[in-house]
């Protein structure tokens, strides 16, 4: 499955990185921003690449959109990304999850198409779910808007009201939220280089939503 004509990639790149103490946008894995390294390694051609939040200089061809509801967390980022998408299914990925296995992405995309579920989300052996490494049908947009309108901002609140398929996985998914997370990842993957490396920004296409 090298080409996915029916899928868009929505890169969730918001947040203030308060717990990490540095801008996650400048975390580089093997010389590339974390999410760019993922995209490069997967070798999957998405019909659209949408950045919800701050632009990523290395993805100048992507369309960047801003949250309609500011400071409302990743659910607002997903809502903005789905609003910009023209594809029936959308892979939503946080920009701070390094080394997402290629095989997992293929499983998620295949399962979404096979089951026609509204959401396909990974579930680890310990029961932890990963809504920021999941596939969302575009028509989840309306339900996401409803949740935001009533003040519910958690990703789980959306999972609870949608037809959600939980995909059990054996892989470990890392979120780099704190300096301790960064240190643990570096210790677990000594063959890879994860560093904080600020770069200058270039202009990006931006879709401003009303």
Within-domain flag for 206:
no
CA torsion sign, 80 to 110 to 114 to 157? Answer: negative
Query: Residue 103's closest CA among 49, 164, 173, 46?
Result: 173
158 pLDDT more than 90: yes
Average pLDDT for 70-96: 94
Q: Which residue has the tokens 């789905």?
A: 82
Residue 50: domain span: 3-193
Question: In this structure, what token pair is assigned to residue 3?
Answer: 């080409």
Within-domain flag for 199:
no
pLDDT for 22 equals 66
pLDDT for 4 equals 45
Within-domain flag for 205:
no
Within-domain flag for 180:
yes
Which DSSP symbol is given to 129? B
Within-domain flag for 8:
yes
Average pLDDT for 163-179: 93
CATH of the domain at 44: 3.90.550.10
Q: pTM (2 decimals)?
A: 0.88
Q: How many domains does the chain have?
A: 1
Within-domain flag for 204:
no
pLDDT tens-place string over residues 140-151:
999 999 999 999
């Amino acid at each position: 499955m090298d080409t996915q004509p029916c899928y868009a990639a929505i890169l969730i790149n918001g947040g203030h990185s308060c717990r990490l103490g540095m801008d996650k946008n400048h975390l580089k894995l093997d010389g590339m921003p974390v999410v760019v390294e993922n995209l490069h390694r997967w070798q999957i051609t998405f019909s659209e690449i949408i950045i919800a939040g701050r632009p990523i200089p290395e993805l100048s061809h992507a369309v960047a959109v801003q949250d309609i509801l500011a400071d409302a967390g990743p659910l607002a980022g997903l809502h903005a990304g789905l609003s910009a998408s023209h594809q029936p299914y959308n892979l939503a990925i946080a920009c701070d999850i390094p080394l997402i296995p290629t095989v997992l992405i293929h499983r998620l995309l295949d399962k979404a198409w096979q089951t026609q579920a509204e959401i396909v989300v990974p579930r680890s052996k310990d029961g932890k779910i990963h809504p920021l490494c999941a596939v969302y049908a575009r028509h989840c947009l309306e339900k996401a808007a409803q949740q935001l309108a009533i003040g519910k901002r958690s990703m789980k609140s959306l999972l609870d009201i949608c037809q959600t398929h939980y995909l059990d996985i054996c892989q470990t998914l890392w979120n780099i939220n704190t300096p301790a997370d960064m240190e643990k990842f570096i210790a677990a993957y000594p063959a890879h280089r994860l560093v904080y490396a600020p770069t200058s920004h270039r202009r990006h296409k931006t879709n401003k939503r009303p």
